[in-house]
Structures are given as structure tokens and as C-alpha cells.
Chains A and B, each alone.
Chain A
Amino acid sequence: MTKIFTCICCFFLVAVFGPKSVRANRSDDRVAKAFLAFQQDTSKKVKATYSSTADTIGQMIRTLQKFKTNRDTINVRSSAAVPNLSLQQVIKGNLAGVYVQEPNGEPGTEQSMIVQGASGLLFSKKDIYALQPAVYLNGVPLVQDNPFAFDIQKYDYNRVGPATNLLSQISMDNIQSIVVVKDPYELAKLGPNAANGAIYITTKNARAGVRDISLNSYFGYVAAPSVNTVNGVYENNFRKPFYQKYATASNYASYASYLRDSTNTAYYGPSNWNDLYYQSTPTFSADLGITGGSDRANFRFFGSGTKNAGNADDTNIDRYNLFFGINMAPFKWLTVSSTVNTARLDRNRNKSLRDRFAETRYIPDLSSPLSPNASIYSGYLQESARNVDDNRSNILNGNLNLSAKINKIVISTSLAFDYNEGIRDYFTPSTLMDGVSYVSNYFGYSQRLLLNNFATYKYEINAKNAIDFEIGQSFQGDTYKYNYARAYNGPNDYVKLNIVDGNAGSDDYLNTLAANGFYVFRYIDKERNNLFSLYASAKYKYKDLLTLSALVRRDGSSNGQPNSRWVTTPAFNADWNLKEQFLKDNGIFDKLHLSAGWGRTLRIFQDDRFAAGPQYRSENGWFEEPTIPGYGGRLGINRPYDSGFIGYNISLPYAERTNLTIDATTLKGRLNAALTLYNRNDKNQVIGMPVPLETGYSANYQSGMDINNKGVELLLNGLVIDQPKSLSWSTGLNINYNQNELKALPNGVKELIYNNDNKLVVGKPVGSYWLYANNGIYNTNAEVPAGMTFNGIPMKAGDPRWVDYNGDNKIDSKDKILTGNRQPKFVGGWNNTLSYKNFDLNFNFIFALGQKSINQYEATKYGFVNREAGNDINSVKEVSSWQTFSNEKSYPIYNPWSDVDAYRTDQDLFLENSSYVKLRSVTLGYDFGKTVLFNKATGKGVRRAYLYATAMNLFTITKFSGVDPELVNYNGYYDGANLTIPRTFVLGFKLDL
């Protein structure tokens, strides 16, 4: 592989420079002169007679922007004044059809984007990784963290390593446009990377001009929320009714030890932990962009530094972003352009117990939770200060494009790369883990190299008819790797490194398990996959009336099985200008387009396991101890009984999309509307099918799961009031309605129980919950129908009255129903800008409606008996749980000691509507650049001097009973463990010189 790659690179260099050097030998002076001419040209020629936009990427964007810039793009101008950190936050509610989940207010944590409905399952973190769209930065398809690291994890709350959201790397002030690509034809052009859709980001790039300097900065703070704290009294009172109703003497005997003594100030004293936990924290940013140069050679530089803070638990992230772009047109027909973007992300993570125990995989005695008392809690924080928790991501990506125009042929080649590495060093002292210190080190990287070549040829048949041809090929190589070691019980709390004996003569030479050192567990994993693609397309254009495009591509993925890894897929598009055709003289419509497209794209596996067919892995562990390496000190290999059998005949899945869009501009350009109907079929996906467990396997992976998403998108952009001299109001609304349906399962199966806890039924949404229906309580034994059992357990007074749907007097999994949906029906946003003279006011609403979630937080609160008895990860009581919420629901008082587990989460008791509408941001700004003040003082120097104040997350309208309906985990469970999304207030300026 390396060889091939080196070979390609050499060939590339030779191809470009080879002929030149060969010729150079022939005649050195000519080269020298030519070079001189080149220099002179660029320095002298200010007024070029031809354009030199070396924009291989731009072509694509231009085709997308055929409906003006306001279709499916972010309003960059208003977004730039909002102190968002990540791409997902920028997009949330602002791109039609993109559902963004921000389940955690902790800055820099992972977030999810789902474009036009979920194309796969939604039950685990791994599933969510597989649903993410491709993000292109200046044509570079950014490489994601690979979820294969979850294989070695016991808990999947966070991926090992820094787990930083890599899409925090881009600074909004450097962005020219953000477009969501949903059009089947364009997606087919992008290929298998974009099977889930694509977000196409173009940064502000080098361009010609005298000079262009922009300086932007903001400063503000995230506000600490006001919380209603409680102490042991509340907890005690909360438990009282349960004990009064159901407790036996032995239940009383095992009453929670920390609540027993009401004179214990640790739990019964003042509850003021929030003073230390929630803090108003500054958040700030500054950046500088310089663009300049001539038509023949120009550049852009951009640098920024940002500190984005959370309001809880001292969390924040520092981002440093540098960007450099250059365009050159050494000759009329040749353009060279290159961009390099680099970022560093340093994250300060939370100190929650759950995340720490999930990392250490070590649960100490939990019988005494953290005290709500600030003076005691501060002791904990002091010990926590001895933690080491360095989380760093380094990101470097960029491209080099060459484009040559020879007559009507344009040949382009581009080399794109993205490399990101994550480093995490973690240490926690023995004082925090019952006398055992812990250290872990992670280094991992993801790397992508993409070589893209294509040639276009424009064939003009006559003035009315023209055809654009394009052929291209690309090669993409991805590598993912990590080294991870976790270790316990170092010699003391000052040794925070795992040191081995370096003396080759020693018995313990390099022995990580040597006595007196840490007890070390090491994990190393690496995965590579290649993608090779060829495509050809033709676009026929008849006047300004009709455009027909067709594309065929052939992709081969190394993650496919050898006999099915090459797949040919087509795509078509038609665009009909109705205005030109029928309404040429009509005054109502300024523009009216109808376009339709159909395309099929290959989808590639994230994991290389499927390519291998029947295989052997080292899977010797069990649920609680998933990474047992072998037996008797020797590595063992066996069939993947735990992760599931993979046979032959697994073929690659593919995505099919149909789009129909009508787009109109009316009222003299003041109203633009676009209506899109889409139908997505994600076919032939692989799913672990249940098998008889007597075969030893948990599942058998098979191809054949089809998922359909269809929906409607409406975009409305209007200039409601247009009085440039006084008030104007422009508004933009986007709404997406999506309907998800499981269409087929492998082998014609109609329904299956997936991983024991979820059910998939053909015809239902994949995000459905599978729950018992709760219908109250059995108050007395007499109320229980005779012989009624719950999974074989006789039901008694105090047990929930679950609905016996099949009437067999037994409540079991046959009585569970599919209900609710993890995914919203409607998502969208409403963005408004009011401007009056030099003032402007922007406010942005976002919404997601129709999704349901399980309130696991309340389930564990009510099920305190089982939670506290367990001493497992679910028994953890965070300091932030010492509070109550105004909108909390109250639930029936069941017998918490009952063997039926009355407060189980797989019942609709805890299912609730988590729809929301949020006022995401309000910005008030004033442009001094237009005032006399600046014009006089600096002549024509200042183009814009904009001063603004922005407030974020001002209010939420929701029926949800938790803190925030957004803080629901990807799997639909609200566990209350995530940090709140803070209110942010900033004051900033934007200066364009």
C-alpha cells in the first residue's frame, strides 16, 4: 500500500515537473527567462485581462448556488456574530433537513448531524457515527474519528482519547459558505463518502484585490444557571412514602447509610455545591484575516484564537486555528491553488464521577455520594485538581489543486489530505479512588489522502445546445490508529507516568507488569481502507431552458468483500426553467424552476471486519470485562461470538435518493420559496440478525436491511419590509418534515428483537421505542388479576399495572409495544434580521418537534433502591443531582423492592415528548463603518466597523420535564448526566479594512 502510494506521488511529481526539467536540460536560458517572465507578470500585472479563479471547488459550489445563495446555505453574516464553537452548532436549525443533536453543553464534546432522517439504526454510539454526513472543507472530505475504539470500551459514553468534536476546528469568521448537499446528482458526484449527505464548507479564500484585512473579536461570558438545590432532607422526604408503604424491617435496616444520620452536616447541612459547580465564565475570541494579491497570484491568511467555556464544572476548550490559501496562475491556461488549514483543540473536561469511572473502568465503593455542601465538596475539587487530564487534538488539512485549460478541455488534479491526532493523558490520584491511582495515555490518529483527477470538455453543438463532459477518477486512502494504555496503582500520587525498567540486563526489562509499577493494560489497533473511484458525466444544456445531466461511477472499496467490492452506480438530474418556458412575460414570477434528480451512491463500511468474511478475533471476555486477551498468558483467537458472525455474501450497501424541487422567486425578488420532496432509500445495509443462541453467537451479520426516509422541505426567504433608508425586515424559514420507515430486513424477516432491548418491525420507524404500556398501579393484592405474572413473577400490590395486550394473563415481551420515535418529525429554524439605518437586530429560533425520549434520570431517582444496591456505573450519584427542577413530573409510588423492577426504563411511564422551540440567538449590532465618523477619519479605509452584542439560548419552550430537551443522549435516553447548554452573552466587533 505504501509502495503504491509513494509510486503515485512520484508519478505525480514527475508528471508535473518532469517534462519541465527534461526541457530545462535542453535549454536552461529559456527556463530562466520564462521564470523571470513569470515573476514579472505577477508583480506587474495588476489589471489582468482574464480571470484566474483557480477554483476547482468553486465550480461545484456555483452549480449548487444556482438558486441564489440563500438556498440551503447558512446565513453566514448573521451566524458570524454568534459565538458558536462547532460546525454543528452553526448549522443547528439553520440548514433545512439537518437535525443537529447537542446532547451536552460541555464545550467541544461530540455532536451529531443527521441529514434528512436516519439512514441506519440509532441504538448505540457506534450507530450514530455511521449516520454522520461527510463534511468537506474546501473540497477536502474531513476524516472522522473511527468508532472502532468502542470495541475495547466497557461503556460508550465517550470514545477513548480526547473525544473532542473535530468539527470545532473551523472558525466561523473564516467561512464563506456552508451548504448542505442533498441533491442526488451532486451527492453521486461526491461519491461514497457522502452517502449520508454532505456539508460543503468553503472558507474565505485568496482572491485578487488591493487589500482586505478583517479583524474580529468578541468577549463575553457564559452565565451560571440558577438552580434549586436540595440536601439530605429532601432525599429523605422523597423516600419516606416508599418506606411507609412498602418497607420491611430489613429494608429499613439497609436504609442508605449516608441518609441515616440527620445530624451529619455533610448531607444535612447547607446545599450550596452550585456555588462551586456552576460558574459564570468568560468566553472570548479574536481573529485576523488578510487577503490580497493580484489576479495572477493572491493569498489569504487567517488566524484565530478562541476560548469557549461551559458554565459548569470548569469546562472549556481552547481553539487555535490557522489558515493559509494561495492561488496562482502562472499562465493563462494553468492555475495552481492550495489551502492549508490547521487547528489545535485543547479541552478541559468535566470532573463527573460517571465519566471518570467509565474511563478508569473501576468503580470504588459508592455508598457515600458527594456531599452537597460546598465546604466538603471543595475538598473533592481540591483533590481533583491533582488530576491530569490533557486532551489535545491537532488537525492539519489542505489541498493542492492544479487546473489546466487547453482549448476546451480542462484537466484538473488535486491532492487533498486530512490528518488529525488526538492525545489524552489522564491521571487521577489515589485519594479519589479509594487508594488506587490511575493513569491512562492515548494517542490516536486518523488520516486521509485523496487524489482526485478529472477532465472536462465543453462541446457546443450550436448556440442553443451544449454538452459538458467530465471524466474523473480518485483514490482515497484512510488510516486509523490508536495506542491506548490504562494502568492502576502507581507507586505514589507523584508518579503520574507509567515507567518501565530500561535496563536491558534487568529481569523486569520493559516489563509493564513489573512489581512496584502500575498495573497496565494496553490496547493497540489500526485499520486502513482504500477507496478507488472512476466516473464520467455529461450535462446537456438547451438554451436557458433545460438542463439534463447524467453520471455513472464505479467505486471499489477495500472494506467490501473481494467479490462485491466494485459497484457501478448512476445518477441523473433534470432542471427545467418554467419561467423561461411558460411565463416569460409574467410579472408575478421572477424565477421559476423545476428540477428532479435520482441518484444511487455506494455506502462503505466503517469497519474492515466485513471485508474479511468468516474470521477469528480475540474475544474472550464478557459483559463486565470485555477485553480479556487470552488464556494462560497467551493470546487466544476465536470466532467473534460476542460481536457476531460475519459470513460471505455481505455486499456493500447503497443509498438511493429521489428529489423533486420547485423553486420560485416572486414579488420582484422579495420572496423566494423552494419546496423539495425527497425520498431516500438506504438499501442492503448490514445488520446483526438474531440467531439461536445455542450456536454461541450473539448475532449473524447479514445484508438486506432497507430504510426509507421521505419528507418535505420548505424554504422561505422574504424581504418583508424593504426600506433601505429606514426599516427593513428580512426573514428566512426552513422546515423539514421527515418520515422514517424500516422497509425490509434480511431474508424477508418482518420483525426482530435487536440486542434484546429493541425491536425492529418492517413498516415502523427504526427509532421506535419498545416498551411496556404502564396503566397505573395495583393498590392492593385484590386488584391484581388472579395468576397475573410479570415474566414469571407473580404480581403484587405496589406493582405497576402493565397492559396485558395479548390477554394471556402474563406480562412478557409479547406485551411490549413499539411506540414513540427518537427522531423528530419536524426540524427547522426561523431567522430574522431587522435593520434600521446602521442598526440591525437578528434573532434566530430553532425547533425540533415530535421526538420522544425516555427520562432515565427520573427512573433512577425513583428506582433508588436498585440503583444504590448495585454499586455499578448506574449507581453513581453526581453532585449535580442535588437539585430539583420546577417542571419535574411525579410518578406513582410503586414498590421499589419488587422483583418486577417497577421503575424500569422499558415502559412508557418515562416516555415523554421532548419537542422544543428555542430562541437560539439574538444579536443587536451597529455598523460604525457607514457613519461619518469613520469615513472622515480614515478616508475610504474602513469598509465595516460593526459593533454587536449577542445573547444565546435565552429561552426554550418545551413540555419536557428534564433540564433541557436537547440534553437527551443519542439513543433517546435522558440521564441528566450531561452539562447544561449555557446562556452566553458576548460583546464583539468586526472590522473590515
Chain B
Amino acid sequence: MKNMINKRNGFYQITIGMMLFLIGLGNFSCKKIDDVQSTRLATEETNWKTLEDAKANLLSVYGLIRSATVSDNTHWLMGDLRQGDFAITNRADLKAIVNGQLNASYPVINRITNWRRFYAAVNAASLFIERSKEIRALDPRYTQLNNDVDVAQARMIRAFAYFYMVRIWGDVPLLTSSHDGDFVKVGRTSKDKVLAFCTNELLAAAQVVPFRYGGTDPIMPGLYYGANWPSWNGIVFTRLSAYIILAHIAAWQGNYIDAANYSKFVLDNQSTQYFVDGANPLDYIDMAALTENQNNYSPFAYKRATLMVGFPFEAGNGLSTSNGHIEQLTLAAPYIPKVQPEMFVTKDSILKIFTDPKDLRFSIDPISGLYRKNYFTNFESEQPIFSKIKVIYPSNTSGNVTLFSSSMVFSRMEEITLLRAEALAVLGQREAAINALNKAANLRGPIVYLSASSKDLIDAIFEERRRELMGEGWRWYDIVRYNRIKNSNGVFATKNGVPMTFKQFETAGGIYWPVSQDVINANSLITQNPYWQ
């Protein structure tokens, strides 16, 4: 009994202990218990602190503009279909684009006409321009030069995004700062103002960025974010990229003097990336590099210096995707296990476009009757496969894995050379223009435009662009520039049965795409492009 009492006392101690425990627990700092650092995101407290933050934020700007240009195959749907060379097998949305019914009610059309994805890149670039300097003060490894170069790249990407949008939609809202956390409503700005902004930004950036990153370029010698030039080429925008974009903006504005100058700068400085710092050189590419994924030069299959303005999807970095590549639209058996391509170039078109019997891309040998298969496969069939670009995981030319790794190629040597030819031709520098044209065309067989030729030089240049850049998202914009130069009085398009010349068509806003209703719903200051109202 005595023991029992004692025991009871003992257990009273337990309860006292428990109570102490209760009280003790209550006194834990509640704040601390509730401080759980998320491992899934970076916050204002953790971002913009180190060199690595600068790298991650800058590369995301590239990632966003890449996604903007390729999502739902935008680059090709908008560039290659309107009045283009492709015919559609089945897809009603693609047919609508080909027929010029750009406001047709299909999910893909609705998504590609939503410009938010470009503004995500614009906003990220603006944010980088505004915030990255904070890192300077916190991380001594992040040098002023490094920061300047990064900011210049962000400005180039932003300018590129605006230029890309102006080509699609004409007047677009111009936002030049991030307004971070503040959701401003801005109406459309005239396309001339937007392009003037782009030009200024690019010119300023071009003064800062090097020709090579991570190499021996005196502008910025040494490794760039710990990596050398071979690992950066084809990935980030260089000084040449800036001038290419400048040249295109100028050409789009009809300012061919500048276009000629800027493209000259690019071509004159080929040496800056020609067999230097251990990387594959920037050079004109041969047929194997163009269509067979030749390792050292192919701008499609690999990140190479030849990808002068563009965005790679490298299989080795886990970036092979099914959407975002022209292969998804154009390839079928025998390249990938797919019965029919979604779009193809008809036999008639091929014969009309590729007229030179010596053209390596496509031509029929008049004697043997055999044809060259570099651009097209199954030419005899109803639906020839447009097989020029075929980068099938990882970088094969055929395979079962319908994940593709081809880069979004905006510009390469041949393209900028042809743009220069175009500029020179418009400016009347006929011989120089012919030289540039032949420089590019000669790569595809002994195709020569003789200065004595009776064929119109402008026509010849645009026809060569059509052949060389087929499936690279240029056709529609080339048609626009060509018609602006020619300014013909022929019927360019009809709307509701009313025929229009190109000038009338352009004045009415027909060269631009409608903007998605979602954009208009979200911002009352945005009005629909008048042509599509």
C-alpha cells in the first residue's frame, strides 16, 4: 500500500512532466515552426544574389523566346504556310492558314495568335536588365563586363521579340520596362516606333557584346560562366547576331541602305568565328550539312557557330521534343513511323520552284530521269515528303522516336548573304548583288546567275531564297518584302470577293495576323487588327 502511494506520486510526476511538455511545446518559437523554405522555387530573398543567378535568369530569357517562336510550331505555321509552298494533308487548322482564314476557330490558331508568350520573354528580359546589376554588389565574381554583356544580350532578345511580333501583328504594345508586379494596360504602339526602339536597342547592345563568348575575343576574353566558346556558340547571341537582326529590321522597313551595311558587317566579320578558340567554324554549309546533319556544320542538328540567330534543342540536354519542330509537320515514312505528313510540297510546286537541272536540292536529270533527293523524298507520290530538315532523336536522319532535336534557325550564312544580295539589288549595286547571290546559290550546285541574264535580279534572289530557305519560316515575310519592292498592281488577294493589290492589302492590315480574342478580352485597349474585324 505504501508502495502504491509512492507509485502514484511517481506517476504524478509523469503528468507534471507531460504538463511541462505541453507548456514547453507551447513556448517553441511558433515562427520557426512555420518557416519552411520552399525547395521548389526561388524567392526575392534568394534570387539575384550570385553569378549563378545571373546565368539562370539570362538563359531563361533565351528559353522563353525560343518557346515563343516555336510553340505550336508558330515559326513555320506563320512563316511557311500563307501563300507558301506547302499543301495540307488533313489538318483543318493548317488549311485555314493556307487559305488565309487566319481567324478560323481552331485551338492551335487561337494559341499562336496569342502574343503572351513573346511578352513573357520581353518581361523576363526587362526584368533582367533592371535587376541583374544587383548581383554586381553581392558577388565579386560577377564583373561589370559580364553584367554589361548579359544586359546587352537581354536587350537583343527583347528587340528580337519585338521585331518578330511586328512581322506578325504590325502595331504591338511597346513595354520597355518590367513593371514587375504591376499589371499595366498598354495599347498598341505604331510598328515604326517599335522597330525604331528595336534598332536603337540592338545598336547599343552591338557595341557591348563580343563576337565570341568564353574565348579569346579581346572584347571579353576568358571563360564565360565557366564555359568556353565551343560550348557557347550557337546558343547565345553574338555581335554578329545583333547585326543580322538589325539588317532584317532595316530590310523589313525598306531601309535597304542600312540592311546592306549591317549585312556587310556580318559577312566581313565571318573571321571572328572562323576556326578560332577550338570551335567548329562559322561558314557556308554544303548539302551534307544542310540536309544530312553533318556534324561540324549543321545548324539544325547541333549547336554550331553556323546557327547565327536561332535556338537549339539539343538531344543531349534532354531537349528533344515532338512539338516545336518542322519535322512534326513535314516528316512521314520512310523517315519516321507515320503514314502521311501533315503538310507537303506538291509535285507541281516542286517542279515550278526548282527549275535548274543542276540544283542539288532538287532537280531531275534530263537524261536519266532520276531526281535528286536532298529536299524531297517520294517525289513520284501524291505527297512528296519534304525531307530537307530531319533531326530525329538524337540527331539521326531517320528513326522511330518522333522526338526531334532540330534548332529553330532564324539566320545562317546563306540567309544573311541572300539578304545582302537583296539589299544590294534594291540599291542598284547589281554586280555586288549578283556576287552575293551566286555565293549562296553556288553551294547548291553550279547554279550561276549571269550578269547578262535577262531574268529580273530581284526575282532571282527571291527565288533562290525560296529554294534555300524552304521550311525555315521565311516564305511569307519574303513575299511581303518582295511585293513591297515590286509594288505591282496585280491582284494579291481577295477579301469577301473584292480583289486587292498588295498595297491595298497591306494598307488594310492584311499582311498581319489577327490577335487572339483572349488578348482582347484581357486588355480593353487592344483592338483587333482592322483587316480581321
Contacts and interface: CB of A to CB of B under 8 A. Distances in A.
Q: Do A and B make up one complex?
A: yes
Interface stretch (A100-108, A421-429, A635-643): A635-643
Contacts of B32: 4
A866 B186 contact: no
Given A632-B312, A813-B521, A14 B17 contact: yes
Interface in B1-54: 3-4, 6-8, 10-22, 24-26, 28, 30, 32-36, 38-44, 47, 53
Contacts, number: 371
Given A15-B17, A489-B400, A632-B236, A406 B12 contact: yes
A3 B181 CA distance: 36
B393 A519 contact: yes
B330 interface: no
Interface in B296-339: 303, 311-312, 314-324, 337-339
B331 to A, nearest CB: 11
A750 interface: no
B71 A435 contact: no
A526 B40 CA distance: 7
B274 interface: no
B342 to A, nearest CB: 8
B344 to A, nearest CB: 13
Contacts of B55: 634
Contact of A638 (B26, B64, B72, B400): B64
Contact of B60 (A529, A615, A638, A904): A638
Given A489-B400, A692-B523, A19 B13 contact: yes
B445 interface: no
A566 to B, nearest CB: 7
B473 interface: no
A436 B403 CA distance: 11
A16 B21 CA distance: 9
B22 A696 contact: no
A693 B60 contact: no
A252 interface: no
A519 B62 contact: no
A813 B105 contact: no
Nearest to A618: B60
A514 B13 CA distance: 64
A420 B40 CA distance: 21
Contacts of A153: none
Contact of B16 (A19, A632, A812): A19
Could you say which of A14, A616, A623 has the most chain B C-beta atoms within 10 Å of its C-beta? A616
Contact of A636 (B60, B311, B323, B514): B60
A895 B32 CA distance: 64
Contact of B20 (A15, A625, A635): A15
Contacts of A633: 231, 314, 316-317
Given A362-B402, A613-B43, A614-B180, A620 B60 contact: yes
A453 interface: yes
Scoring B17, B34, B236 by chain A CB atoms within 10 A of each residue's CB, the highest score goes to: B34
A763 interface: no
B501 interface: no
Nearest to B183: A691
Interface residues of A, number: 130
Contacts of B487: none
A532 B33 contact: yes
B339 A367 contact: yes
A557 B33 CA distance: 9
Given A692-B184, A693-B518, A473 B26 contact: yes
B91 interface: yes
A617 B40 contact: yes
A475 interface: yes
A668 to B, nearest CB: 47
A632 B224 CA distance: 13
Given A430-B400, A488-B401, A869-B90, A331 B11 contact: yes
B340 to A, nearest CB: 7
B117 interface: yes
Contacts of B90: 254, 868-869
Contacts of A695: 119, 123, 175, 179, 183-184
A870 interface: yes
Given A23-B10, A617-B40, A694-B115, A628 B321 contact: yes
B219 interface: no
Given A631-B235, A870-B91, A411 B19 contact: yes
B134 to A, nearest CB: 13
Contact of A634 (B12, B56, B181, B517): B56
A692 B61 contact: no
A20 B13 contact: yes
Interface in B385-412: 393-394, 400-403
B346 interface: no
B521 A690 contact: yes
Interface stretch (A157-165, A604-612, A777-785, A915-923): A604-612
A866 B92 CA distance: 6
Nearest to B533: A792
B318 A622 contact: no
B173 interface: yes
Interface stretch (B96-104, B348-356, B420-428, B432-440): B96-104
Contacts of A629: 318-319
Given A436-B400, A630-B59, A791-B103, A614 B43 contact: yes
Given A411-B19, A693-B519, A793 B101 contact: yes
Contacts of B503: none
Contacts of A331: 8, 11
B221 interface: no
Contacts of B19: 411, 455
Nearest to A148: B40
B124 interface: yes
Contact of A692 (B60, B101, B185, B311): B185
A209 B401 CA distance: 67
B23 to A, nearest CB: 10
Interface string B212-251: 0000000000000000000110011000000000000000
Nearest to B68: A622
Nearest to A38: B7
A16 B41 contact: no
A960 B236 CA distance: 57
A475 B57 CA distance: 37
B33 A4 contact: yes
Contact of A257 (B72, B316, B339, B518): B339
21 contacts: A8-B25, A11-B24, A436-B402, A453-B22, A453-B25, A475-B25, A529-B36, A530-B36, A615-B41, A624-B71, A624-B322, A624-B324, A625-B322, A630-B317, A632-B235, A637-B56, A694-B523, A696-B119, A753-B521, A792-B533, A813-B521
Closest 10 CB pairs of A and B: A636-B60, A435-B400, A622-B71, A19-B13, A696-B123, A15-B21, A624-B323, A620-B63, A899-B104, A434-B337
Interface of A: 1, 4, 8, 11-12, 14-20, 22-23, 27, 30, 33-34, 37, 148, 254, 257, 331, 333-334, 362-365, 367-368, 402, 404, 406, 411, 413, 430, 434-436, 451, 453, 455, 473, 475, 488-489, 513, 515, 519-521, 525-530, 532, 534, 556-560, 562, 565-566, 608-609, 611-618, 620-625, 628-639, 641-642, 645, 647, 690-698, 700, 753, 756, 790-794, 812-813, 865-866, 868-871, 897, 899-901, 904
Given A402-B18, A615-B41, A692-B522, 15 more contacts: A11-B25, A12-B21, A404-B18, A413-B22, A513-B316, A622-B71, A624-B71, A632-B236, A634-B59, A647-B181, A694-B116, A697-B116, A753-B521, A791-B105, A793-B104
Interface of B: 3-4, 6-8, 10-22, 24-26, 28, 30, 32-36, 38-44, 47, 53, 55-57, 59-64, 66-67, 70-72, 89-92, 96, 101, 103-106, 111, 114-117, 119-124, 127, 173, 175, 179-181, 183-186, 231-232, 235-236, 303, 311-312, 314-324, 337-340, 342, 393-394, 400-403, 496, 514, 517-519, 521-523, 525-526, 528, 532-533
